């Protein structure tokens, strides 16, 4: 179904009041009933319904504002004036819920934050790269102490299997995990709060 064929109305918007007023108007309903059979000009509507043309004009303006009637075609009268042809808009009217959790809208709102998290993670990864260093590279005396505790001679070389590998914390990974968790908690909290309301 094309998006143009749907008229989405939220009950809290002014458009819903205008639409209710138009649908409650007896003359508007008569005009819509006539236009459901085919298109017509203002003078043709006035003649067929036996109502003044000024009343027809006013009610058609209300129907146009409510997007229930459209004017796609026109012709020129003998006096050179543009005469519009009115017809019913081929639309479904959908009344949206007043309030609630809209997952799609929530994703649209948090998507920029998710992009910022990814960008900040990349910057942190660039600034603080994760490095691995062995005891020999760092010059730490932990390996000889381990050798002492195992009753090896101090002069004996430390086997490679016993070398301690020290790693720095991966700041980028921890930042990404923390920020993503905060984002998930926010969305879930907002969802639960909207359900309680």
Task: Domain ranges for the chain, please list them.
Answer: 3-96, 103-196
Confidence bin at 30 (pLDDT 50/70/90): very high
Alpha-carbon gap, residue 138 to 165, rounded angstroms:
10
Task: Name, in order, each residue with C-beta under 8 angstroms of 178's C-beta and a sequence gap of 6 or more.
Answer: none
pLDDT in tens, 181-194: 888 888 888 778 77
Alpha-carbon gap, residue 25 to 56, rounded angstroms:
12
Identify the pLDDT of residue 151: 47
Stated as kind and residue range, the H or E segment containing 102 is: none
**Helices 26-35 and 53-65, interaxial angle, to 10°?**
80
Alpha-carbon gap, residue 13 to 185, rounded angstroms:
31
Q: What percent of the chain has pLDDT over 70?
A: 69
- Beta pairing partners, 133: 166
Spatial CA neighbour of 91 closest among 6, 8, 1, 10:
6
Highest averaged pLDDT of the listed ranges 58-62, 116-120, 180-184: 58-62
Checking if the pLDDT of 117 tops 70, the result is yes
Between 176 and 14, name the one with better pLDDT.
176
Identify the pLDDT of residue 59: 92
Mean pLDDT of 72-91: 83
Kindly report the CATH number that applies to the domain delimited by 3-96: 1.10.10.10
Checking if the pLDDT of 130 tops 90, the result is no
Checking if the pLDDT of 25 tops 70, the result is yes
Task: Name, in order, each residue with C-beta under 8 angstroms of 154's C-beta and a sequence gap of 6 or more.
Answer: 144, 147, 148
Identify the pLDDT of residue 53: 92
Confidence bin at 136 (pLDDT 50/70/90): very low
Mean per-residue pLDDT of the chain: 75
DSSP state of 150: T
């Amino acid at each position: 179904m094309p998006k143009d064929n749907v008229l989405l109305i939220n009950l809290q918007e002014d458009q819903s009041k205008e639409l209710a007023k138009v649908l409650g108007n007896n003359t508007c309903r008569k005009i819509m009933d006539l236009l459901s059979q085919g298109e017509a000009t203002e003078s043709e509507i006035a003649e067929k319904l036996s109502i003044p043309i000024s009343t027809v004009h006013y009610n058609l303006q209300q129907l146009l504002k409510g997007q229930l009637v459209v004017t796609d075609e026109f012709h020129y009268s003998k006096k050179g004036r543009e005469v519009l042809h009115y017809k019913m808009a081929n639309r479904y009217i959908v009344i949206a819920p007043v309030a609630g959790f809209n997952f799609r809208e929530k994703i649209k709102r948090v998507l920029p934050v998710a992009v910022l998290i990814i960008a900040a993670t990349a910057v942190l990864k660039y600034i603080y790269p994760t490095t691995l260093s062995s005891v020999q590279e760092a010059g730490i005396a932990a390996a000889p102490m381990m050798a002492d505790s195992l009753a090896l001679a101090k002069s004996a070389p430390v086997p490679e299997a016993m070398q301690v590998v020290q790693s720095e914390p991966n700041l980028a990974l921890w930042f990404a995990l923390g920020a993503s968790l905060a984002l998930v908690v926010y969305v879930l909290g907002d969802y639960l709060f909207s359900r309680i309301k």
